[in-house]
Structure 1
């Protein structure tokens, strides 16, 4: 008569296993060499069959078994081995391990990310981080609101980058909803709030002042302005208002005398405005004090 030597026994397997897996090899002895083992139940995601390239019988988890910890945590399998005359039975207990979903590790609070229009395509915006209890391979993806956002994500590393330059970008804020998946559970969204502000041009050497006398001739260069925008792609325009005696030479970035100065004696406040293509502006004042030349009086 057959005798099963290693049942009862138990095994554990995680609920997310989806390929056929050997759980236990049955050790059965009999004087007969013709032994058949089987599983008495047919409505379970397990089977008994010969282990490939051996004469031993194995207890297997089926392909695509559909294990769900929340529905069935333990299976008790009745195993029977017979030699056509007698049989022996044993119990195989299979414990299902719950798959723990991944968790984000760097989003205890919702981050607010402030970007400027000087940012370039390829710049890193944020790096998502997540862990998984079972060390499953994690993948990241995201959605945006509004949907046409200038971002991309590396599905493996969680690195979020700009997919385009931001100068002139028409939308100023986004909600980036990030998800992480361990192949079984999708977790999220983790929300990144991203704002985009246009850089503002500015004068580097204003306000400033100088004193000249009334004899300085028209056309003379008086001062060179320097100005900047942190977005190097912006083309800047400088304008000068409220003066008849001085002019702004954009080709050389200089202030020049425009006409004879006797009428300008005193304090002249020149107001300059620097603007980018997106109507971001700054102003600066340059004070020119024109002095009267004391001429000799002959008697």
Structure 2
């Protein structure tokens, strides 16, 4: 069965009569010859082999020359040379010669006017034929296809067989076919709730037809409303909250042979029944509750109407049913405990509450059983107690201990406990269940492997160092106090300014050295106050102290940049000076310390003849010098 889209049906179709014959009515008369082809499909394109009505193939008759399986075809023309395979019956003759096959109802092929019959054998030919010039039959023959499926199309353009004088021994009979009906029968009544939403499929249709290959169309013949539509095989709603009423729709199913039947669908839209979806229910509460408290939400289903909920017999219970927020109908109803309920387990440890919810049409009720739990004090099950913690245990920051509120788990909150002086902590712990407090009880925490921190013990705050100290000079040896004698001691130093690292260093034994390369010159060093941050670590903890090395100036003797100077003049009277000599004197203390130079001469036995200005270094004669002087021009 196939379904067409809803639409108009043809207004006239010729229905096949019972035992209407297609092809040869006495096929066993044509038994003389057999085609030698193998794997060939045939179609007899002749008026006598054409279907003249609308119905089904109910019977086949052939003259068989072998017992091979044969596929009996029905072909439908699409164009002059293109045909579609409408259907086929698979038969195997039981005897050679005349063979009749009555098609089971479930295998009958639906046919229309203009269809042709044919056949196919995978091997050697089965159906015989007679040959005579008086047979004007057009036989189409096609080879090269090994199997067929219903719906296949075949182009016979190159297969217009010119053998027109063959009469094949095949015939078929038609029947009118079955009248289709809907699976709901002629009258169908159904009920839906007013809360049914738009697009809901409220009824699924199917077609009942013994002719399984028929194509059917389902139409809505009449309806008295616009709330429902037929969508393929489903009857669907067109809006939310369809008004409460009874609606009638008339449906029609028709096949291609115009076999028709109708069904009437009566749809009653009823009020949605209100329901309390989560009652009955059992719950427990504590005996020591004393404030108003919501203890259970009600889940109520009512899609369209206004509704309310109440509790029966509220005078005898400390409970009530009300909306969470007062002020009109609302879905937010719940069971509440009244304020100051004075619950007493010994007097009454169970309440059976009846809740009723209602709208204008229906009422729903349910029960809630509330059991009271007698209050008891919490109990420590593992205190007093003690635990041991390794000092290297890794945890988050904080410290050193905390307790998790709800689990009671005692946790470390410091990454390293090695620096703690105490090896034992007594934690005082209490517990509260919201109503009662117990304790305190003691948890003793013992810490193993506490580390003794290394401490720099002899580093002075300041030390003085004269400039030009010898290279690679040991200045100071740092001492460390650490009770953990097996711990390593690693020394490092950082300098401020950073250039200090060019002039000083510290070795693995804590010895501070001057540089082996760079001389410490007071007059040229970047800073005369070098800060040295000395640090020692045992790879667990560290100590750091500041040493300031102050570079002290050392007065340096002036020096001439040349070993010889030359001056000259003519002989003259006493006190006449020589020209002023431009001496090149190097003294780094002049610029920084303001040193003043004084000049002196030493000429041995001739010193008494000359004098020198101590401030300028200008040389003069002490007496008249008319004689020839010897070697007095070189000092």
More strand by share: 1
TM-score (norm 1): 0.47
